């Protein structure tokens, strides 16, 4: 297995538009690395540059520690699974899987063995003799995966491989891809716009926005400790509540909107900030959190409730701003009724309003201490 490193990579197109700005990524050998971001953030371009399907304007690509900028795609020891699978419609599933191996002059016995193993791993045996158009979306997806597996390339690139599948199949394929990756130990670079895939599949992920990396880290760390308002709003569903606020560092008061104030000392300079809180951290007044004396109590008018089975999503207005809360259990609350709620100050994140960077993350400092102890 091989590592992949991108050093100061920039990509500009002929018309001067910058797609990727000074990208630095270091993907370890055997790691499942997810590139996630909204469409147009450059994540596919990064993947295609690693594959060698697109050139870089500047920067260095190291594959297995060796410069690979000028290598043709076939010499980069990688395989790739495309969003539309890119199967050859005139070949059977079997021929599709081994098509690439023929070019490498690999012995017939080895080809057969690899084919058998891959087919077994993905339960493909019954459809090997059918053509792609006779197969379902999920089966085509597996053929594309099998094609990548039989190549035994140390690096596997996947470009939104699950986006053409229905929700149920997608969930199954998520764990299947993860399982296979663990079993084979390939270095996986996986591009997706789906935050659930990013959260559940990756060892680490990089959140991209407008061609720059916003944050790299373990999915759970990115979720708990977003570095930036973009990451905070992109990861998590429903998204984090982000409210403009002003911090007065003389009176130690945080003013949210016109009327709501929270008296609290923050280790930051006064000024315009953005306050962030995850919907699941806004609790009903009956929650045990409200017993803590540092808890912040407030009341708000509910404008909508959605019961999603085991949890209820509430939308409410606070100072003309729409907030969302996620409560456990099933709550039937009439619209326009006032509801007592509670939040804990340790769940409040403070971002800079100008550049969106994190200013204060109470839990993060604790965590750093834990690590140092």
- Smallest separation (angstroms) from another protein to the CB of 362: 47
- Of 147 and 278, which has the nearer Cβ to another protein? 147
Among 74-82, 249-257, 318-326, 345-353, the segment contacting another protein (CB under 8 A): 74-82
- Of 79 and 305, which has the nearer Cβ to another protein? 79
Among 72-80, 208-216, 273-281, 288-296, the segment contacting another protein (CB under 8 A): 72-80
- Of 99 and 331, which has the nearer Cβ to another protein? 99
Q: Which of 17, 39, 66, 89 binds another protein (CB under 8 A)?
A: 89
Binding flag, residue 110, another protein (CB under 8 A): no
- Smallest separation (angstroms) from another protein to the CB of 268: 48
Binding flag, residue 80, another protein (CB under 8 A): yes
- Smallest separation (angstroms) from another protein to the CB of 106: 11
Contact 77, 154 (CB under 8 A): yes
- Of 74 and 175, which has the nearer Cβ to another protein? 74
Edge-first strand listing for the sheet containing 58-63:
18-27, 4-12, 58-63, 66-67
- Smallest separation (angstroms) from another protein to the CB of 104: 6
Q: Which of 38, 67, 73, 329 binds another protein (CB under 8 A)?
A: 73
- Which positions from 2 through 61 interact with another protein, judged by CB under 8 A? 51-53
**Residues recorded for the chain:** 373
Residues in contact with another protein, total (CB under 8 A)? 25
- Of 81 and 289, which has the nearer Cβ to another protein? 81
Q: Which of 65, 88, 263, 335 binds another protein (CB under 8 A)?
A: 88
Binding flag, residue 151, another protein (CB under 8 A): yes
The sign of the CA dihedral 104, 105, 108, 109 is negative
- Of 104 and 320, which has the nearer Cβ to another protein? 104
Q: Which of 86, 110, 317, 338 binds another protein (CB under 8 A)?
A: 86
- Of 78 and 242, which has the nearer Cβ to another protein? 78
- Of 68 and 205, which has the nearer Cβ to another protein? 68
| 3-class SS string, the chain | CCCEEEEEEEEECCCCCEEEEEEEEEECCCCEEEEECCCCCCHHHHHHHHHCCCCCCEEEEEECCEECCCCCHHHCCEEEECCCCCCCCCCCHHHHHHHHHHHCCCCHHHHHHHHHHHHHHCCCHHHCCCCHHHCCHHHHHHHHHHHHHHCCCCEEEEECCCCCCCHHHHHHHHHHHHHHHHHHCCEEEEEECCHHHHHHHCCEEEEEECCEEEEEECHHHHHHCCCEHHHHHHCCCCCCEEEEEEEECCCCEEEECCCEEEECCCCCCCEEEEEEECHHHEEECCCHHHHCCCCEEEEEEEEEEEECCCEEEEEEEECCEEEEEEEECCCCCCCCCEEEEEECHHHCEEEECCCCEEEECHHHHHHHHHHHC
Q: Which of 7, 22, 82, 360 binds another protein (CB under 8 A)?
A: 82
Binding site for another protein (CB under 8 A): 51-53, 72-75, 78-80, 82-84, 86, 88-90, 99-101, 103-104, 133, 147, 151
């Amino acid at each position: 297995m091989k590592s992949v490193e991108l050093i100061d990579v920039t990509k500009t197109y002929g018309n001067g538009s910058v797609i990727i700005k000074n990208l630095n990524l270091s993907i370890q050998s055997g790691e499942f690395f997810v590139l996630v971001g909204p469409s147009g953030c450059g994540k596919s371009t990064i993947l295609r540059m690693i594959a060698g399907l697109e050139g870089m304007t500047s920067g260095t690509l190291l594959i297995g520690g060796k410069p690979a900028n000028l290598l043709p795609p076939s010499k980069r020891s990688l395989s790739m699974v495309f969003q539309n699978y890119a199967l050859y419609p005139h070949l059977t599933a079997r021929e599709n899987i081994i098509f690439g191996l023929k070019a490498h002059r690999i012995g017939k016995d080895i080809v057969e063995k690899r084919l058998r193993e891959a087919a077994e791993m993905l339960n493909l045996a019954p459809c090997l003799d059918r053509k792609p158009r006779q197969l379902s979306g999920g089966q085509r997806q597996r053929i594309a995966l099998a094609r990548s597996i039989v190549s035994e390339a140390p690096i596997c690139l996947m470009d939104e491989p699950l986006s053409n599948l229905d929700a149920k199949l997608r969930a199954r394929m998520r764990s299947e891809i993860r399982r296979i990756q663990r079993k084979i130990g390939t270095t996986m670079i996986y591009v997706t716009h789906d935050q659930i895939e990013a959260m559940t599949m990756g060892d680490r992920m990089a959140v991209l926005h407008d061609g720059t990396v916003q944050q790299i880290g373990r999915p759970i760390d990115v979720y708990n400790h977003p570095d930036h308002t973009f990451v905070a709003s992109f990861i998590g569903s429903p998204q984090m509540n982000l409210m403009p606020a002003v911090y007065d560092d003389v009176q130690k008061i945080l003013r949210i909107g016109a009327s709501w104030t929270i008296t609290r000392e923050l280790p930051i300079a006064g000024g315009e900030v953005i306050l962030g809180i995850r919907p699941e951290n806004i609790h009903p007044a009956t929650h045990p959190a409200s017993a803590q004396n540092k808890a912040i109590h407030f009341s708000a008018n509910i404008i909508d409730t959605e019961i999603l089975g085991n949890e209820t999503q509430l939308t409410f207005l606070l100072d003309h701003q729409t907030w969302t809360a996620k409560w456990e259990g099933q709550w039937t609350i009439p619209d326009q009724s006032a509801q007592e709620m509670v939040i804990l100050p340790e769940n409040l994140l403070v971002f800079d309003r100008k550049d969106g960077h994190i200013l204060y993350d109470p839990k993060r400092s604790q965590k750093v201490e834990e690590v140092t102890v």
